[in-house]
Amino acid sequence: MIRLLLIVLLALLIGTGLSLGLQYDLGYIRISLGHYMIETNFWVGLALVFAVIVLTVVTLSLFRRVRHSTGLVSGWIARGNERRARRRTTQGLLALAEGNWPRASKLLTSAASHVDTPLINYLAAAQASFESGDYETVDELLRKAFESTPGSDLAVGITQAQLQLAGNRLEQALATLVRLRKQSPHHPFVLKLLKTTYLRLEDWRELSKLLPELQKRNVLPEEEFNELQRLVWHNLLERAAEDCRRNRKEDPNASLEPLTRLWDELPGFLRRDEFTIRDYARLLADLGDEAQTETLLRKVLRNHWSDELINLYGRIKGHKPDEQLLLAEQWLKDRPNNAELLLALGRLSLRNELWGKAREYFETSLRLRRSRETLAELSRLNAHMGEEEVSIKLMMQGLAKDNGLPELPMPKA
């Protein structure tokens, strides 16, 4: 109310002032511009200036309102695009889950530029394109994924490596993973993918270098890790033995240093592992160093019994076969019913030319466990001792049992 009174009072004062001014002197304004000239009294000029000011203010006000209205329209359009993008993303993910790869790639890619998380769209679209076999598009989508989201290098790189592995592009996968490991040396999943890549490339040396990091980061369950260690070092031992064979073709007196040096590099766990010891001992024996093989097996069997290793012990020839036999007979005191030990004793008896003792050991072993290996040894021994009929009978029994032949009537000889 007070504000209204003040406005009315101000208007009366201005009107009174203008009225007095008009009565006092109309004034005179003259504006010359080139060939044009405008003449008017002061008060009309003042009114024109005021009108221009008011018109300018009104124009600016209208402009602001129009711009605001345009912003509202733009916002409405943008929100519509976002809704459509979310709908397409959902449809694209459903198509991906259903195995409709071309539709999934198309929907996810078209929606990527209008969603808050374009990285997910591009990565999923890359997966769909990969399943379609469109590898060029895969690389392009992965590049867009990287560009769309700062700091996404690791996520994009891991996806790229997985797709390269799935596509059997092992060399490219290795290059990607080596780059990622430089950025994140201890990332468990990168290490796991690198392990898979080396395994498929059969790069046992590089895989052996990776083993300590895999163990330190607990990337694999203990049992799986131990199996991986056995596999890696088994293959390294095989390759070292192959190197020794090649060296001996050139020089029959070449040492077994590549193989023995590798044995010294083995982790303590594997140097006590029965399967690894067996592999190493067999390789040594195959390369002709049976004396060193016998020494190794004797040390192991004194502290850790193994039927596989005692079988191998009976096959090799040490420096002193008689001492081998005596040692094995000492072990028999503690294991009188061990069929593998009795088989080994039979073979060691043969090596010492104790034919009767050998046959006795073979027959005892065969009574405890019917084994084709023992049966073959006994049959061979009987044949060489002039008992061909017994030998043939044993062989026939073995063949019949091994092949599961039924009991049937047979003609008499």
Q: Is 112 inside any structural domain? A: yes
pLDDT of residue 115: 80
Domain count for the chain, please give it.
1
Average pLDDT, the chain: 83
Above 70 in pLDDT, residue 144?
A: yes
* pLDDT tens-digit readout, 157-196: 999 999 999 999 999 999 999 999 999 999 999 999 999 9
Binning pLDDT at 50, 70 and 90, where does residue 223 land? very high
CA atoms within 13 A on the CB side of 389: 1
Q: Which helix (H) or strand (E) holds 220?
A: none
Binning pLDDT at 50, 70 and 90, where does residue 379 land? confident
Q: Is 54 inside any structural domain? A: no
Above 50 in pLDDT, residue 72?
A: no
Q: Is 121 inside any structural domain? A: yes
pLDDT of residue 321: 92
Q: Is 7 inside any structural domain? A: no
Q: Which pTM was predicted? A: 0.69
- What is the rounded CA–CA span in Å between residue 96 and residue 102? 9
Q: Is 245 inside any structural domain? A: no
- What is the rounded CA–CA span in Å between residue 351 and residue 144? 73
* pLDDT tens-digit readout, 6-54: 655 665 665 565 555 555 555 656 666 666 666 666 656 666 666 677 6
* Among 42-56, 112-126, 293-307, the range of highest mean pLDDT: 293-307
Above 60 in pLDDT, residue 367?
A: yes
Q: What is the CATH number of the domain that holds 126?
A: 1.25.40
Q: Is 97 inside any structural domain? A: yes
User: What residue spans of 305-338 are helical by DSSP H?
Assistant: 307-315, 321-334
> If you average pLDDT over residues 185-211, what whole number do you get?
95
Q: Is 303 inside any structural domain? A: no
Report which DSSP code applies to 149.
Answer: S
Q: Is 284 inside any structural domain? A: no
- Sign of the alpha-carbon torsion through 191, 192, 197, 200: positive
> What is the domain range of residue 129?
84-150
Binning pLDDT at 50, 70 and 90, where does residue 263 land? very high
